[in-house]
Amino acid sequence: MEFRSLPAMFVADAPGLDFLNSIATPVDETVDWIADGAGFLAWIEQAGMAPPEALAALRAQFPAADFDAVAERARALREWFRGFVGERKGRPLAAADLGALAPLNALLARDERHGELVADAEGADRALVYRESRRWHTPDSLLMPVADALATLVSTEDFTHVKACEGHRCTLLFADHTRGHARRWCSMASCGNRAKVAAHRQRLKARGEREA
């Protein structure tokens, strides 16, 4: 399916899992929102992982082939991390899991961050605030906020509550932050509603068989 025909899905309640959900089967066909460079740029923009002005500058400086190449690396990162999550979701992470994260640490080591003083746009009491910024020198720099999201996921999320949607054929993952951790669906409006409809039909069928 043409990935640009559908908006990207951000239902995981955790940016690192939203990245894994950048390939999904929302209805019947698989959609890959980062299938090429244009898709990866669009996904990064929709996820709010890079400022629009930085994306515009990169688009102006580099050819489409460079973004296709970084999208390919992003897909490889996604599938590697999907394996990590798939093997560990449903249980707390342990110190022994650190060794498996060596590729992520290697990517994080390439980050170009710097601190800067800026005017406080929030209008607080202080005129100046200190913040971290990132240098967006090459298309590869677009992998850095993704790496941040993955590192934040493994360092702050309780993997006991990382779940896969129970919807038929749905591949979406999410962090269950609900009270009682009873969430079962990526979205009640999609998979949850389809499950309700299917259950209702099954009850009607069973009732009809009993009355026959």
Q: What is the pLDDT at residue 200? A: 41
**SS3 (DSSP) at 51:** coil
Q: What is the pLDDT at residue 121? A: 74
Cβ partners under 8 Å of residue 184, min gap 6? 163, 165, 166, 192, 195
**Domains in the chain, CATH or no CATH each:** 11-90+103-109+145-211 (1.10.3300.10)
pTM: 0.85
Distance CA 33, CA 36 (A): 8
Share of the chain above pLDDT 70, in %: 85
Q: Tell me the per-residue pLDDT of 48-76, one tens digit each, with 9 for 90 and over.
A: 999 999 999 999 999 999 999 999 999 99
Q: What are the b/e assignments for 34-43, b being 16+ CB within 10 Å?
A: bbbbbbbbbb
